[in-house]
């Protein structure tokens, strides 16, 4: 304004000042909502701020935290990916993305994201610990799938039992392992065991197509045509 004190400039400056005051107020409210664990309200306020402050990495990270708490991991990933691009050497964002993918059962994407973190900082403790775990699990699953392709069903079953021991905390890996073991049992003509295990999977995931097909194959082996 001092360099160019025209009416238009003054109006523009006043508008921007008013807007920035408003955004600061929304920001305080968003932080307060987050601290009070009202994540839905915090997201709504952060949406308003981010519509204007599109390039704010920290606000995106905060909204991602809210999405995680609200059980919306894919939206959290989207914000964290933006934050990883907006802030240099954002190892924390890559670590969080990798953790979310891991919890969702997507071990391959988890591995690729945690590698990005280690490219930025090879001594990052959390990323290195996660990397070792995901790499180990990934290798076991790949090895089990290779056995299935080769028709070595006993070996595949044994390998998937190892997968369940490697990751007992995240339920999706046990469910996937049981689904694949059921497939192997069915292919190996072990109908009774296959039916039992597929039924376990279907109690957790009633619309699991693979488990339904494999159980159907097992029922055929037992001449249980109605089932």
Digit-coded pLDDT (tens) for 201-224: 999 999 999 999 999 999 999 999
pTM for this structure?
A: 0.88
For residue 111, what are the CA distances in angstroms to 15, 19, 87, 100, 123?
47, 42, 21, 11, 16
Residue 12 pLDDT class (50, 70, 90 cuts): confident
CB atoms within 10 A of CB 24: 11
Task: Give the CATH architecture of domain 151-226.
Answer: Alpha Horseshoe (1.25)
Q: Which of 7-16, 72-81, 138-147, 196-205 is the least confident region? A: 7-16
């Amino acid at each position: 304004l001092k360099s160019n004190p025209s009416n238009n400039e003054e109006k523009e400056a006043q508008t921007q000042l008013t807007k920035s005051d408003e955004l600061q107020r929304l920001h305080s409210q968003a932080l307060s909502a987050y601290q009070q664990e009202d994540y839905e309200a915090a997201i709504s306020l952060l949406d308003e701020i981010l519509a204007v402050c599109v390039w704010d990495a920290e606000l995106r990270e905060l909204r991602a935290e809210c999405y995680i708490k609200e059980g919306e991991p894919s939206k959290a990933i989207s914000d964290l990916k933006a934050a990883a691009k907006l802030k240099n050497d954002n190892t924390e964002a890559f670590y969080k993305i990798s953790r979310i993918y891991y919890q969702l059962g997507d071990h391959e994407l988890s591995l690729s994201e945690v590698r990005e973190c280690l490219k930025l900082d090879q001594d990052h403790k959390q990323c290195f610990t996660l990397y070792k775990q995901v790499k180990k699990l990934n290798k076991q699953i790949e090895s089990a799938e290779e056995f299935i392709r080769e028709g070595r069903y006993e070996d595949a079953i044994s390998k998937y039992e190892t997968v369940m021991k490697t990751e007992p905390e995240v339920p999706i890996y046990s469910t996937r392992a049981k689904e694949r073991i059921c497939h192997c049992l069915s292919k190996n003509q072990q109908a009774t065991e296959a039916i039992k295990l597929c039924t376990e999977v279907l109690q957790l995931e009633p619309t699991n197509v693979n488990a339904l097909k494999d159980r159907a194959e097992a029922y055929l082996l037992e001449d249980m045509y109605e089932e």
